[in-house]
Amino acid sequence: MVSRPRVASAPAGSRTGPALSGGLLAPAAAELIGTFLLVFMGPGSLLALRNVDTPLKLIGVGLAHGFALLIVVYALGHVSGAHINPAVTIGLAVARRFPWPAVPAYLIAQFVGGILASLALWGFYGNGARRAPNLLGATVPGGSSVTAMFTEAVLTFLLVTVVMSMVTDKRANLAGAGLAIGLTLAVGIFAAGPISGGSFNPVRSLAPMIVSLQFPGWWAYIVGPIVGGALGALVYDRLLRPGVAPTP
């Protein structure tokens, strides 16, 4: 999510991602590794804390996700932009802040990284971690799938709005991007954990489901984040980016 302007086709003033002319192998590898780290640390924290009281578990899981995202942004943002989330990649592309030809490579790398992380968690925690209610740390709806979808859409809208603000607008302080984005994910999980599990990322939810071969409310974790992410990117790009604070 953090990068300097290297995309020849990106609009002026953006800071978005890898130049296609430079090849996609390194950026895709960075997306794979970054997504592996997020899915290993995030769902892994759910497995590690599965016997802890719910309030403490929610705090621990939220912080684990937030810090994992923060680490990836600072460690790999200069290589790939550190999207590590299909909703971010598609949202940036919809707003023309990321090249569409690079989207398939990013999505494939993200899903491969997520699935490898889920396989690693299976190896570490054993077959019991694949069975309900653990499902390798997959997010599941706390109530109806429709409510979970709406929750995921709203929180992903906010997450991508922060991403757009911090990394595609030259007026923002790029040095603080990792902290702002990581904290947005953490507090989003605090708010939405009991309702949807707090994913805001299709790979983070689907990769553990795929390895567990169980898919509770799977569509909510595709539709919600993708729609919310695209709307967040468009709202920032069309409405908020041109804005300036009033002066006397």
Q: How many domains does the chain have?
A: 1
Whether the full predicted model's pTM is greater than 0.75, yes or no, is yes
Identify the domain containing residue 213 by its residue range.
Answer: 24-239
The answer to whether position 186 is within a domain reads yes
Indicate the average pLDDT of the chain: 91
Task: Write the pLDDT tens digit of every residue in 125-135.
Answer: 999 999 988 99
Is pLDDT above 70 for 187?
A: yes
Write down the pLDDT at residue 2.
54
Q: What pLDDT score does 8 carry?
A: 30
213 burial (CB, 10 Å; 0-12 / 13-18 / 19+) is: exposed
pLDDT exceeds cutoff 60 at 21: no
Contacts of 48 (CB under 8 A, 6+ apart): none
DSSP secondary structure, 102-150, as one string: GHHHHHHHHHHHHHHHHHHHHHHH-GGGGSTTTGGG----SS-HHHHHH
H, E, C per residue of 146-167:
HHHHHHHHHHHHHHHHHHHHHH
**Quick check: is 84 in a domain?**
yes
Q: Nearest 5°: CA angle at 162, between 71 and 156?
A: 90
Residue at 4 is within a domain: no
Residue 15, pLDDT above cutoff 70: no
Asked if residue 139 is part of any domain, the answer here is: yes
**CATH code for the domain of 163:** 1.20.1080.10
pLDDT greater than 50 at residue 14:
no
Quick check: is 108 in a domain? yes
Q: How confident is the model at residue 20 (pLDDT cuts 50, 70, 90)?
A: low
Angle at 209 between CA 204 and CA 211, to 5 degrees: 105
pLDDT at 4: 38
- pLDDT one-digit tens code per residue, 136-170: 999 999 999 999 999 999 999 999 999 999 999 99
Question: At a CB cut-off of 8 Å and minimum separation 6, what does 171 contact?
Answer: none
Classify residue 248 by burial, with Cβ atoms within 10 Å: 0-12, 13-18, 19+.
Answer: exposed
Whether 164 is in a domain gets the answer yes
Model confidence at 54, pLDDT cuts 50, 70, 90, reads confident
Model confidence pLDDT, tens digit, residues 69-127: 999 999 999 999 999 999 999 999 999 999 999 999 999 999 999 999 999 999 999 99
Write the Ramachandran bin of 4: left for phi over 0, alpha for psi from -120 to 50, otherwise beta. Answer: beta
Contact predicate 7/98, CB 8 Å: yes
